[in-house]
Amino acid sequence: MLIFASMNEPTQPNNPLHGITLKMILEYLIDYYGWDELSEKIRIRCFKENPSLNSSLTFLRKTPWARIKVEELYLWLVSKNRK
């Protein structure tokens, strides 16, 4: 089967996060670790003090270094759980 991508929707075959939203990533990490352990793994104040999904998403969308850390932890955890 041949699938054509439209000009508006480029394919990203080498991007392991393609199709996975930041919200999905954060929900996965929260379910797996919980807020307390997640705040130990990634030292970000919004994970430690009055954590909420919305405030964390807002912070991560504005802070590239923090988003990278969350994405890297997610990729590591997913690859570890596949083995």
Range of the domain at 74: 22-82
Q: Is residue 3 part of a domain?
A: no
Q: Is residue 15 part of a domain?
A: no
pLDDT in tens, 16-68: 888 889 999 999 999 999 999 999 999 999 999 999 999 999 999 999 999 99
Instruction: Report the pLDDT value the prediction gives residue 67, as an integer from 0 to 100.
Output: 96
- Contact in structure between 73 and 81 (CB atoms under 8 Å): no
Our count of domains for the chain comes to 1
Q: Is residue 58 part of a domain?
A: yes
Cα dihedral 36, 57, 64, 34 in deg (nearest 10): 20
Residue 81 in this model has a pLDDT that exceeds 90: no
Q: Is residue 55 part of a domain?
A: yes
Q: Is residue 74 part of a domain?
A: yes
Q: What is the DSSP letter of 4?
A: P
Residue 6 in this model has a pLDDT that exceeds 60: no
